[in-house]
Amino acid sequence: SQTIHQWPATLVQPVGSPLSLECTVEGTSNPNLYWYRQAAGRGLQLLFYSVGIGQISSEVPQNLSASRPQDRQFILSSKKLLLSDSGFYLCAWRDTGDNTIYFGEGSWLTVV
């Protein structure tokens, strides 16, 4: 069966520091992968999605970037964090058989 993992689960970073969140999927090949953000008390915003290695689509211009160095690995990065980057970040993958999207456990980021 397929599983998705992301880490770290929680992190507190100072303003101006870099960020790297990692997500991996097991049990499937060539998945579509997604990064969503959920700001406190707000809904879910799609940040990036990827249909294959090295292929990244950005939904919202911002301080973040994404990369897909391997088929089942998706990384969210920032060179310099802003206070407004705080939130709950969710990685997800799509089952292309029935278009169901499954989410990881999430990563809580607090920028101080």
Contacts with another protein by CB under 8 A lie at: 32, 34, 42-44, 46, 49, 51, 59, 90, 92, 94, 98-106
What is the C-alpha separation between 69 and 12, in angstroms, rounded? 25
Quick one: 81 or 93, whose CB is closer to another protein?
93
Residue 66 β-bridge partners? 76
Name the DSSP class of 62: S
- Complex with another protein: residue 42 or 79, whichever CB lies closer: 42
Give the residue with the Cβ less far from another protein, 70 or 105.
105
Q: Which is nearer to another protein, 80 or 95 (CB)?
A: 95
| Minimum distance from residue 53 beta carbon to another protein (Å) | 17
Gap between the Cα atoms of 86 and 1, Å rounded: 32
Joined together, the tokens standing for residue 100 give 């169901």
Backbone region of residue 16 per phi and psi (left: phi > 0; alpha: psi in -120 to 50; beta: other values): left
Minimum gap (Å) between residue 110 Cβ and another protein: 14
Compute the least distance from the CB of residue 49 to another protein, in Å: 6
Rounded to 5 degrees, what are φ and ψ at 50?
-140, 130
Minimum distance from residue 74 beta carbon to another protein (Å):
14
